[in-house]
Amino acid sequence: MGHQAPKTARFVAMTVLNRFRPRHNYAGPILSKLLPQTAQKQQATDIVFGTVRNAKAIDMAISTFAGCPVERIPSKLLNIIRIGVYELIFTPAAAEYAIVNEAVENTKTVAGKKHIGFVNAALRQITRHIKNRQIPLSDTNPRRALPQIPSTGCEFDICFLPDPAASPADYLSAVFSLPEWLIADWLTCFGVEKTRQICFAANRRPSVYLRPNTLKTTIRKIAEKFRQADINFEILDDEAMIKVKSPQAVEKLPGFAQGLLTVQDVTALQPLRTLAPQPAQTILDLCAAPGAKTTQLAELTGDSAKIIATDIDSWRLEKVKENAARLGISSVETIAYEQLSQKAAEVGPFDSILLDVPCSNTGVLAKRPEVRYRIEPKTVTELAKVQVRLLETAAAMVKTKGKICYSTCSIQKCENSELVKCFLRENRDFELESEKLVLPSAEEIDCDGGYMAIITKN
């Protein structure tokens, strides 16, 4: 037990997973505290989030091929095995011998030599059953292969997965580690092929997209900085964002500290571009934290609008202040949620209200992998009640001819189109100007899912 292994990416990942409880905490903050101990930040991050995203499929492979149900494996050994199985199946470029050897070393460090044989045997059993670590999915029986990306998977030597033709919900739930009720809901709404695409997007390694701060710079100037720093990137077709193609710590990107950049998903960018806020307007951001859309409002209005930002979570509201300060924005005033009524009486009614409501996060499962282990149908129902209340709050504060931009990072109808339809039925002085649902995608320009609606007061 006195053996000390170096703090490698796999060791850090193991430590994070040992402290992580899917229903009670988040892997990200635990990882952030431990990351200074390793130079292999990207690998540690990939292992942690990849293992969390694919935990159900990984456990199924362990129980099927290692000859031992996961419930009977002590947790500190189980997470070492899970990491090994994750890499064997989902990172085919990682050398098999390195995966197994380091699992053995980590076992020696945290559990002692007597457990080495068990961990080694479990991983060797699984490798014996892997026929091909990366094969085109079109060349294999879907009951034998766990999908990695839309085109490839890891093939085993026997059929152990549900039959996708006989039961698509069972199959997709098993291979993508997602709740069966959620898959069933998507199948009803979107059909088999779109649901399959959503599942791949929910398990992808999400790309980093950057929005230039147009108050200070242009996308071309940022591109030049990135070229000089040898950063691999791509400018999107509409020239609104940059995709970072080589793994980087965002805080260390050229221009980030100077407030030239904000991280934002392609889908999250769209609601406010559709709203098209104007410089002379008084605008309320009702659920502002952590501030990516609040600062986008300021940029779109040339930092000349009057923007009031609030959030029920006072700790996260501080993030809005920090982001606005970093970007050099002066038009945003943050106020405590308890002061909203008084502030609205002073400066309202508002020309525009941004209502980016708390939601089930079913459009952002790749970035928030814990959600799949917490979400239940009743959670979504309860959230919809909160969303309705927030929409009614916004409706009472918007002026005639004013607009509410309602947005979520959910793809559930009950939080989106159905909720808006119901609101409009009960509030005849409002009408729907436009709405759009974006499904998450794992394509080249990958994106999260989300919904947006522009609602106008007559």
Tell me the one-letter amino acid at 6. Answer: P
The Cα diameter of the chain in Å comes to: 74
Contacts of 373 (CB under 8 A, 6+ apart): 22, 23, 55
CB 412 within 8 A of CB 420: no
- Which letter does DSSP use for residue 353 in this model? E
State which H helix or E strand residue 435 sits in: strand 430-438
- pLDDT at residue 38 in the model: 57
Cβ–Cβ < 8 Å for 210, 225: no
Which ranges constitute the DSSP H helices of 371-455? 371-374, 377-395, 417-426
Q: What is the pLDDT of residue 5?
A: 45
Q: What's the full length of the chain, in residues?
A: 458
Cβ partners under 8 Å of residue 191, min gap 6? none
- Specify the long-range contacts of residues 236-244, CB closer than 8 Å, at least 24 apart: 236/209, 236/266, 236/445, 240/211, 240/269, 240/273, 241/209, 241/210, 241/211, 241/212, 241/266, 241/269, 242/209, 242/210, 242/212, 243/207, 243/208, 243/209, 243/210, 243/445, 244/207, 244/208, 244/209, 244/210
Positive or negative, the CA dihedral 239, 271, 265, 53 is negative
- Number of neighbouring beta carbons within 10 Å of residue 430: 19
Task: Round to whole Å and give the CA distance between 327 and 338.
Answer: 26
pLDDT score of 161: 97
> In which residue ranges of the chain is pLDDT below 70?
1-6, 36-39
Backbone dihedral angles phi then psi of residue 266, each to the nearest 5 degrees: -60, -40
pLDDT at residue 43, as a whole number: 87
Whole-angstrom distance, CA of residue 172 vs CA of residue 178: 8
DSSP letter, residue 442: -
> Is 107 within 8 Å of 81 (Cβ atoms)?
no
Q: Which domains does the chain have, with CATH numbers?
A: 9-161 (1.10.940.10), 207-264 (3.30.70.1170), 266-457 (3.40.50.150)
Q: Are 327 and 353 in contact (CB under 8 A)?
A: no
Structure tokens, 249: 């710590």
pLDDT digits (tens, 9 = 90+) for 56-66: 999 999 999 99
Q: How much is the pLDDT for 166?
A: 96
Read off the pTM: 0.93
